[in-house]
């Protein structure tokens, strides 16, 4: 059996991670502190050296001694005294050429000091980190001026690098103790946090916690049923998105008492009940919710409370309504197959289509056909000539558009034109917001809106790939058209188009037969000397056959 890597629980992994982070922070802070401490030590040495040099340079008699015959004899004793008093490693007096008059090491007296003193000769006091003979040091250089302000000499004072380093090294043990104490405190705090986290996660590992979170997230966001978790104190502990939607809960609903959420009293009593409930129907916000409640305690080791699930049973009514609509559409299509095309007359077939759909599918229906179709001819492809309105059904007395028998011309930007050009059905669900459908008759379109019409559905009458015309359905009292209405409308139009095309072809064949029959009749009678003859053609019935001709 493979040995699992340590640590396994979330608490242990968090502890190790915190410990590593604390250790890294402690190292970084100690390095930063050491660097800052050394910088402060060097800055302190600079200030100490500058104060010692400036103090001695401004002492009475120093400028005068530099002009005397033996500056070393006069200045060496006070320079040594100043060095000891200011606790620096050296105080030296130089002439303008950098030659020492005094020094803590007598063997250096009379020798030139190393360095560039041009800044001091210009009257500037400064400090520098000097590296060179006789030793590396933090050095301050201060000019000595006479009563006229002229520089007569220089005073240097400073601390050797070894002295500065020894001061810094004496502070390192304190820094180490502080770092160790900080790390110990951080380790203890991390252990306490890990212990509390272990109790809250029950020793679960990352995989188990991730799985629990995914299940929790799925319940809150993906479940189609509402879920409520109620605490023992009657407060809402947890709610998912569906329950929030069904109950119309406020954004801050969690951790509030149930009675403060605006729910009906019967719903509050049901959710707070100590007994289990199965599919109790409760009216909430215009919906009928099936509520189930289960009490939870996890064997006495977990928090007591309850879990409630909600199902919206109004969806069943919606589905039933959709099924009823589907049944009505199927019945409409069935009646269309029986009632449309009862004759071989083009106009009558169009009227049958309009009679069928009003008021079952639309409040008003109009049927427009190309003039060529009415003559029995097939419309020329790629050409959009005017159409003739052959049928209008509905509120005809208040209908603001053209009546049956009038000729119409749809502009190139009109939405109806797209359907007549052979494209798909045109659906305008909000007439008030759309503009293109108003192009054929803007004034009439305003009348349409005033009468309360809110949507239209235009479907091309297409048979054998040829568009014969257009049927437009209008609604005012019924719900607006939506995409689900396009399919049954296209089915109705397709069946009607086939019948209209059959009637068109019959009209064409009938006209051809009549023309042929008339062509067979004698054009004139021969002249007779003794008899006057008269003739008349009178068909016995409509159509071909049964005609007679007499003299």
The pLDDT, as a whole number, for residue 319 is 64
Q: Which residue has the higher pLDDT, 329 or 449?
A: 449
pLDDT band at 1 (very low <50, low <70, confident <90, very high): very low
Establish if 227 belongs to a structural domain.
yes
Establish if 237 belongs to a structural domain.
yes
Average pLDDT rounded to a whole number, residues 96-116: 84
Task: Indicate the SS3 state at residue 285.
Answer: coil
The pLDDT, as a whole number, for residue 258 is 83
Q: What are phi and psi of 291, to 5 degrees?
A: -110, 130
End-of-domain residue from the set 282, 312, 342: 312
Average pLDDT rounded to a whole number, residues 34-38: 68
Using CA atoms, how far apart are residues 186 and 384, in angstroms rounded to an integer? 86
- Is the CA virtual torsion 185, 190, 195, 199 positive or negative? positive
Using CA atoms, how far apart are residues 340 and 507, in angstroms rounded to an integer? 17
- Is the CA virtual torsion 132, 137, 138, 139 positive or negative? negative
Using CA atoms, how far apart are residues 219 and 215, in angstroms rounded to an integer? 6
Using CA atoms, how far apart are residues 476 and 137, in angstroms rounded to an integer? 101
Instruction: Please check whether residues 112 and 246 belong to one and the same domain.
Output: no
What's the distance, Cα to Cα, between the start and end of the chain in Å? 121
- DSSP state string for 362-407: -SEEEEEEEHHHHTTPPPPTT----EEEEEEESSGGG--SPPTT-E
Q: Tens digit of pLDDT for each residue in 458-476? A: 888 888 888 888 898 988 8
Instruction: Please check whether residues 340 and 473 belong to one and the same domain.
Output: yes
**356 conformational bin, left if phi > 0, alpha if psi -120 to 50, beta if neither:** alpha
**pTM for the predicted model, two decimal places:** 0.43
Given a cut of 70, whether residue 104 has pLDDT beyond it is yes
Instruction: Please check whether residues 474 and 370 belong to one and the same domain.
Output: yes
DSSP 2: P
Instruction: Please check whether residues 19 and 145 belong to one and the same domain.
Output: yes
Instruction: Please check whether residues 363 and 487 belong to one and the same domain.
Output: yes
Q: Tens digit of pLDDT for each residue in 523-544? A: 666 777 777 777 666 665 555 5
Establish if 545 belongs to a structural domain.
no
Using CA atoms, how far apart are residues 27 and 29, in angstroms rounded to an integer? 5
Average pLDDT rounded to a whole number, residues 211-225: 70
Instruction: Please check whether residues 384 and 481 belong to one and the same domain.
Output: yes
Q: Tens digit of pLDDT for each residue in 341-392? A: 788 888 888 889 888 888 888 888 889 888 888 888 888 776 667 888 888 8
- DSSP state string for 457-514: EEEEEEETTEEEEEEEEEESSSPPP-GGGHHHHHHHHHHHHHHHHHHHHHHHHHHHHH
Instruction: Please check whether residues 381 and 236 belong to one and the same domain.
Output: no
Strands of 146-262 (E only): list them: 151-160, 226-231, 236-239
Distances (CA, A) of 447 to 290, 395, 475, 480, 485: 47, 13, 14, 18, 25
Given a cut of 60, whether residue 545 has pLDDT beyond it is no
The pLDDT, as a whole number, for residue 167 is 63
Given a cut of 80, whether residue 158 has pLDDT beyond it is yes
Using CA atoms, how far apart are residues 285 and 310, in angstroms rounded to an integer? 13
pLDDT band at 449 (very low <50, low <70, confident <90, very high): confident
Q: Tens digit of pLDDT for each residue in 161-207? A: 777 666 656 666 766 776 677 767 777 776 777 666 666 666 666 66
Instruction: Please check whether residues 349 and 481 belong to one and the same domain.
Output: yes
| 173 beta partners | none
Instruction: Please check whether residues 235 and 295 belong to one and the same domain.
Output: yes
DSSP 235: B
Instruction: Please check whether residues 112 and 67 belong to one and the same domain.
Output: yes
Instruction: Please check whether residues 284 and 343 belong to one and the same domain.
Output: no
Establish if 21 belongs to a structural domain.
yes
Looking at the structure of the chain, the number of domains it has is 3
Instruction: Please check whether residues 335 and 484 belong to one and the same domain.
Output: yes
Q: Which residue has the higher pLDDT, 16 or 60?
A: 60
End-of-domain residue from the set 141, 167, 193: 167
The pLDDT, as a whole number, for residue 208 is 67
Range of the domain at 240: 223-312
Q: What is the CATH number of the domain that holds 144?
A: 3.30.450.20
Using CA atoms, how far apart are residues 77 and 82, in angstroms rounded to an integer? 9
Establish if 487 belongs to a structural domain.
yes
Closest alpha carbon to 325 in 493, 494, 481, 495: 481
Q: What is the 3-state secondary structure (H, E, C) of 51-113?
A: HHHHHHHCCCCHHHHHHCCCHHHHHHHHHHHHHHHHCCCEEEEECCCCEEEECCCHHHCCCEC
Given a cut of 70, whether residue 318 has pLDDT beyond it is no
């Amino acid at each position: 059996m493979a040995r699992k890597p340590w640590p396994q629980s979330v608490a242990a992994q968090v502890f190790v991670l915190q410990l590593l982070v604390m250790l890294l922070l402690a190292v970084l802070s100690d390095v930063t502190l050491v660097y800052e401490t050394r910088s402060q030590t060097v800055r302190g040495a600079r200030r100490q050296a500058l104060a010692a040099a400036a103090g001695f340079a401004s002492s009475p008699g120093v400028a005068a001694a530099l002009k005397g015959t033996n500056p070393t004899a006069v200045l060496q004793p006070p320079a040594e005294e100043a060095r000891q008093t200011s606790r620096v490693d050296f105080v030296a007096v130089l002439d303008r050429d950098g030659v020492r008059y005094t020094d803590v090491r007598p063997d250096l007296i009379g020798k030139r000091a190393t360095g560039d003193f041009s800044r001091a000769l210009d009257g500037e006091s400064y400090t520098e980190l000097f590296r060179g003979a006789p030793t590396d040091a933090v050095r301050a250089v201060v000019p000595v001026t006479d009563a006229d302000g002229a520089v007569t000499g220089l005073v240097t004072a400073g601390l050797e690098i070894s002295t500065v380093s020894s001061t810094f090294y004496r502070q390192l043990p304190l820094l180490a103790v502080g770092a160790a104490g900080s790390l110990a405190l951080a380790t203890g705090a991390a252990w306490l946090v890990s212990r509390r986290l272990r109790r809250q996660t029950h020793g679960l590992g990352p995989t188990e916690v991730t799985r629990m979170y995914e299940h929790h997230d799925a319940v809150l966001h993906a479940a189609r049923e509402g879920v409520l978790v109620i605490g023992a104190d009657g407060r809402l502990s947890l709610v998912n998105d569906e329950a929030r939607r069904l109950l119309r809960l406020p954004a801050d609903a969690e951790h509030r008492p149930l009675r403060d959420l605006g729910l009906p009293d019967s719903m509050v009593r049901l959710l707070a009940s100590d007994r289990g409930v199965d599919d109790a129907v409760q009216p909430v916000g215009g919906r009928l919710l099936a509520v189930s409640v289960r009490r939870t305690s996890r064997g006495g080791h977990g928090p007591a409370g309850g879990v409630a699930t909600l199902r919206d049973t109004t969806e069943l009514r919606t589905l039933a309504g959709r099924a009823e609509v589907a049944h009505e559409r199927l019945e409409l299509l069935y009646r269309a197959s029986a009632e449309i095309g009862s004759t071989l007359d083009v106009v009558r077939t169009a009227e049958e289509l309009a009679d069928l759909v009003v008021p079952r599918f639309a409040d008003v229906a109009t049927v427009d056909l190309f003039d060529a179709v009415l003559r029995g001819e097939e419309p020329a492809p790629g050409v959009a000539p005017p159409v003739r309105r052959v049928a209008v059904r509905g509120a005809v007395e208040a209908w603001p558009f053209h009546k049956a028998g009038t000729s119409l011309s749809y502009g190139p930007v009109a939405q109806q034109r797209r359907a007549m050009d052979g494209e798909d059905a045109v659906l305008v669900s909000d007439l008030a917001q759309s503009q293109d459908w108003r192009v054929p008759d803007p004034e009439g379109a305003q009348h349409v809106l005033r009468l309360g019409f809110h949507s239209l559905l235009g479907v091309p009458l297409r048979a054998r790939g040829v568009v014969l015309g257009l049927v437009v359905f209008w609604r005012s009292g019924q719900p607006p058209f939506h995409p689900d209405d396009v399919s049954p409308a296209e089915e109705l139009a397709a069946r009607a188009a086939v019948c209209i095309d059959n009637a068109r072809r019959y009209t064409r064949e009938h006209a051809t037969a009549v023309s042929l029959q008339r062509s067979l009749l004698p054009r004139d009678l021969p002249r007779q000397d003794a008899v006057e003859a008269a003739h008349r053609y009178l068909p016995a019935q409509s159509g071909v056959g049964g005609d007679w001709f007499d003299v």
